[in-house]
Structure 1
Amino acid sequence: MIKKLMLAVAAMIATMGFAFAQVDVNKADAAALDAVKGIGPKTAKAIVDERTKGGAFKDWADFEKRVQGVGPKNAKKLSTAGLMVGGKSMDGVETAVVPKAPAKAKAEAKPAAKM
């Protein structure tokens, strides 16, 4: 029983390192944006400031145009890392977001506590 529990915990910890969160540029705060690989505190602040000043970003082209330092190449990398504009990834770019674990793995991870 203990071995199964330890194995389940180890598997969960190992998979956490591979999970990326999808972050919408129109909804996220600076801290959430900073968590996206490729966005630092300076860029996160620039995104929030531009969104406050000019309203929500309409699409990826609008995002690239309005945020200094984000061009087509950088936008593609950010989309791959999980950044979204209006709930959408950049066209033609696959995100590196790992899907959630299957229900079976979750069920095994919860041990039945009996004493």
Structure 2
Amino acid sequence: MIRTFLSASVFALLTGFAVSSYAAKTEPVAPASAAVVQAAPVNLNTADVETLTRELKGIGETKAKAIVQYREAHGPFTSIDELLEVKGIGAATLEKNRAKLSLN
């Protein structure tokens, strides 16, 4: 009887270790690079055409060039909403990118 009890105890103990190690392996891990990508906003006053095209949704090369040309003609942007003054940039495009934009 003692032998059965000890066998059952050892079996339960080993099973517990196996389950806990399996659970530890299956936990999702967020990639560290995701935080870095989101942390760098696009500065409307300094970004070049390539950066604007690569980082902003709905902004191709033509619209990116228009943003740079507007900035060169009118000076630095004073608000994110001023982007609506650029030909080809509408409210929907601005809202898709608002969280990624900065002025400094």
Q: TM-score range by the shorter chain?
A: 0.5 to 0.7
- Alignment pair present for 1:70 and 2:89: yes
> d(CA) in 2 for partners of 1:73 and 1:59?
17
- Alignment pair present for 1:42 and 2:62: yes
- Alignment pair present for 1:83 and 2:90: no
- Structure 2: segments with no counterpart, 5+ residues: 1-28
| Offset, 1:37 | 3.0
> d(CA) in 1 for partners of 2:65 and 2:33?
27
**Which consecutive segments of 4 or more residues in structure 1 shift more than 4 A?**
none
> d(CA) in 1 for partners of 2:33 and 2:62?
26
Task: Tell which structure's C-alpha radius of gyration is larger.
Answer: 2
- Alignment pair present for 1:25 and 2:44: yes
TM-score by length of 2: 0.57
Instruction: Give the conservation status (yes or no) of the 8 Å contact 1:36–1:83.
Output: no
Count matched residues: 73
